[in-house]
A and B are shown apart, each in its own frame.
Chain A
Amino acid sequence: MASNILMPKMGYDMEEGKLLRWLKQEGEPVNKGEPVAEIETDKVAIEIEAFASGVLAKILVGPGESAAVGAPIGVIGEPGEKVDTPSVQTAPPAPEPTAEPQGAPPPAMPKPSPSPAPPAVGSEQRIFASPLARRMASEQGIGLEQVQGSGPKGRIVKRDVETALEAASTRMGSMATSPEPLAMAPKVADASGRREPLSGMRRAIARRMSEAMAPIPHFYVTTAISMDAALALRTQINADLPKEDRISVNDLVVKACAVALRKHPSLNARWEEDAIFYPSEVAISVAVAIPDGLIAPDIHSADIKSLGAIGREIRDKATRAKSGQLSPDEYGRGTFTVSNLGMFGVEAFTAIVTPPQSAALAVGAVQPEAVVKEGALAVGQVMRVTVSADHRITDGAGSAQFAAEIKRLLENPLQLLI
């Protein structure tokens, strides 16, 4: 009995996924639990596993095409089974992507036959679309099955693809006033250059950042921190550690934030329109730059983890983030974000608060500066950090106190070891 492979929901804000590639061909046998396709969500590339054994009877969503969460992307059937192609548009979303396989799995794995299983005959549904609409859709990376046709007899025409692209760009949350819809791809008359369709990652970042910037009344508090003691402590700690266990300045900052947040819960809170929610946990999202964007894996309970544990966890997650191997439950659930551009020599900057969080810390480089120590001019190692906060939840004084607490902790770093 045939059953559908559905686009899984891999994160709380995932609306659709893009099919990167099929790992099986139509007609090829698949075993339960075997990867059949690779999809790209907003943030990660992920393999989808077969939930039943049989043959991949039908591919419904081709490489590069996107499908809504819960929509069928392929069909697993028994060898030679005739498969009715479900309508991609009208397929009801699955209640739970990780739900049990629909229908009973075949009793036994089909024996590999000497000749490849005949491809299942699906009722291929022809999509009527103008050549221009087809070309626009393919270059903009949207599947024609997602587009409602308005031309003669429901034919998909240019206008429909433009409308779909506009809707997509609206859905992507362009709350910032964008004068031109994504669809109309602002064409600069005399510009020669390269035009790259948005990746899922870029879209997600664009959406989240503009969702954050417009509704959240941001304000910023910057403080300079003397890092001499922290650097000395780090040297001391690292002296006897193998390279992979050494802690970084950022690890200290993450730990300091987590500890400080315990004392200042309003920066660890969430705005809920008619209430303010204070999570019991402190989870620090650590922004990591990756090839075509950024991602912020979460360090849960950072306030109670040791510096060493925090350091190892950050390095592990950052490495996997860069290769697209982060699993969806490893990001997007933090309560506060630390973004460090110190490695680029940035002195200070401001971060955008990522909803539903209420604050973020932007960390600059540690640099030698002329400082006054005990009444005399000296060279000190100074780092500037900037707190960005949601003014609906916290006020200037609260953030200043939080910044002061981070400063106090980093200037007296032994407290971070408690």
Chain B
Amino acid sequence: MSSVIVVGGGPGGYVAAIRAAQLGLQVTLVEREWLGGVCLNWGCIPTKALLRNAEVLNLFKHAKDWGVAIDGLKADYGVAFDRSRQVADKLVKGIQYLMKKNGIRVVQGRARVLGAGRVQVGAEVLQAAHIILAVGARPRLLPGIEPDGRRVVTSRAALLDNRSAPESILILGGGAIGCEFAYVYGSYGANVTLVEAREHLLPNEDPESSEVLEKSYRAYGYELLLSSRFEGHELTPHGVKAKISTPEGLRTIEAERMLVALGISPNTEELGLEAAGVATERGFITVDEQMRTNVPGIWAVGDCNGRSGLAHVASAQGVVAAEAIAGHRPPELRYADMPRCTYCHPQVASLGLTEAQARDAGYDVQVGRFPLAANGKALALGDATGQVKVVVDGQYGELLGVHLVGPDVTELLPEFGLARAAEATTAEIEHAVHAHPTLSEALHEAVLSAMGRAVHV
């Protein structure tokens, strides 16, 4: 008998399994499809590979600007797609190795929770003191939208099946997934229409970041239908014809392919949760700060508990659950401090509070900004679109939030993440000398700007 059964092998589940094993627990992990879950197989990782291809392609497209002459440039999306699969496969193999290394038994199959401590997989009934549900989520669909894997797709089909880029793409949803696919397909020549119900792309980001991204996307020729609603669609021989109500009126958009990227639905059906008495809300499993469900011995981490839809948060939750099961007292996760990254071009990254959230929370808000156009490294890269914006508390110098747009700015987040975790203030960032020339200088300058004393603007 195991100490812990983990249901689901994505970044929530496999990390929970490893952490539990490290703490000396006997762990069995049940996975119905592939280890690594959405993230590795048809999520974070393959999109990053595709985005890299898109970036490289764009460099070639602008070769002339760099003094490189290329005649007859041809881009093959299929090669990009294959590369993305190779990257994913490599990582999945890595997870298999990690399971073995940590002595975790992996059971392939669909799990059904029979009650506290009992999980059925096929004919086998597994027993353990604790069950960690890490069953993840899938793209949310609207009524009337049925993906056919060709004309109407979700990110799953786009990353697993569609080995060609469409000539035109209608993307429903201006969140991270929608924005990333817009850039991938747009770079490979697709005519892009992006529909977002709210006022801005990446509506959860600070509006200033969204505006920079929108400006870039419009410059790429993408059509952005903001504050717009999808009213329905019909399939045509060549794709789809969709009705979108925009502030300017009803529009009909024809496209070869329609990508639905409207958020996620938890994979909590057919799991036996109701019979086991596990409480859910709109399908998401209700948990406390330590990932406990209402049923003693049953825990839930990752997308399926609805706290966040981010892989790294799922992993962090997995660690919390494993440590709590092992009798430790893991610190509570601070969700506002979870890094948020979108890897389109320019990249958008943030952590902590937006300016509006900080004001609502009653802080004495001071904002600092630094445009990448004034950053030497960004100019040298030939990629100076973007800015760093920091939100700090004037009273104590607490670093409340950072909002970045620009090349590779996702890699700048950890400085702020560490600063938040260590409760550094503006003074510590101020006194840390930042290397020249680097993009990180922009973050330093933004903090100085919040203190009213930026040097280079």
Contacts and interface: CB of A to CB of B under 8 A. Distances in A.
A187 B427 CA distance: 21
Interface string A168-208: 00000000000000000111110000010000000000000
Interface in A141-164: 152, 157-158
B68 interface: no
Interface stretch (A131-139, A284-292, A355-363): A131-139
A130 interface: yes
A136 B396 contact: yes
Contact of A131 (B331, B362, B427): B427
A132 B423 contact: yes
B395 A131 contact: no
A245 to B, nearest CB: 52
B456 interface: no
A132 B362 contact: no
A189 B424 contact: no
B398 to A, nearest CB: 5
A131 B393 CA distance: 14
Interface in B399-423: 422-423
B362 A187 contact: yes
A185 B361 CA distance: 12
Contacts of B362: 186-189
B234 interface: no
Nearest to B399: A132
B423 A187 contact: no
Contact of B423 (A158, A185, A188): A158
Interface residues of B, number: 16
A131 B428 contact: yes
Interface in A344-371: none
Contacts of B424: 130-132
Contacts of B428: 131
Contacts of A131: 422-425, 427-428
B10 interface: no
A136 B427 CA distance: 13
A187 B395 contact: yes
A328 to B, nearest CB: 35
A127 to B, nearest CB: 14
A152 B396 CA distance: 22
B177 to A, nearest CB: 34
A185 B363 CA distance: 10
A188 B360 CA distance: 10
B359 interface: yes
Nearest to B427: A131
Interface string B370-409: 0000000000000000000000000111100000000000
A135 B423 CA distance: 10
A190 to B, nearest CB: 9
B367 to A, nearest CB: 13
Given A157-B423, A158-B423, A132 B363 contact: no
Interface residues of A, number: 16
Contacts of B422: 130-131
Contacts of B363: 187, 189
Contacts of B395: 139, 185, 187, 195
B362 to A, nearest CB: 5
A299 B99 CA distance: 82
Interface string B1-28: 0000000000000000000000000000
A297 to B, nearest CB: 38
Interface in A63-88: none
A195 B427 CA distance: 21
A131 B363 CA distance: 18
Contacts of B397: 132, 135
B396 A189 contact: no
B231 interface: no
Most A-side CB within 10 Å, residue of B362, B397, B424: B362
A130 B420 CA distance: 10
B451 to A, nearest CB: 14
B364 interface: yes
A131 to B, nearest CB: 5
B365 interface: yes
Interface in B301-348: 331
Q: Which of A132, A136, A158, A187 gathers most chain B CB within 10 Å?
A: A132
Contacts of A185: 395
B365 A135 contact: no
A136 B425 CA distance: 11
Contacts of B398: 132, 158
Interface in B168-198: none
A158 B397 CA distance: 12
B149 to A, nearest CB: 48
Contacts of B425: 131-132, 135
B396 A130 contact: no
A8 B151 CA distance: 83
A255 to B, nearest CB: 50
A379 to B, nearest CB: 55
Nearest to A133: B423
Interface centre among A152, A158, A189, A195 (most CB of B within 10 A): A189
Contacts of A152: 331
B422 to A, nearest CB: 6
Contacts of B359: 189
A157 B397 CA distance: 14
B357 to A, nearest CB: 12
Interface string A119-132: 00000000000111
Contacts of B331: 152
B447 to A, nearest CB: 13
A158 B424 CA distance: 10
A136 B393 CA distance: 12
Nearest to A156: B423
Given A130-B423, A132-B424, A135-B427, 15 more contacts: A130-B422, A131-B427, A131-B428, A132-B397, A132-B423, A133-B423, A135-B397, A135-B425, A136-B396, A139-B396, A152-B331, A187-B362, A187-B363, A188-B362, A189-B363
Closest CB pairs A-B (n = 4) = A130-B423, A132-B423, A187-B362, A131-B425
23 contacts: A130-B422, A130-B423, A131-B422, A131-B423, A131-B425, A131-B428, A132-B397, A132-B398, A132-B423, A133-B423, A139-B395, A152-B331, A158-B398, A158-B423, A185-B395, A186-B362, A187-B362, A187-B363, A187-B395, A189-B362, A189-B364, A189-B365, A195-B395
Interface of A: 130-133, 135-136, 139, 152, 157-158, 185-189, 195
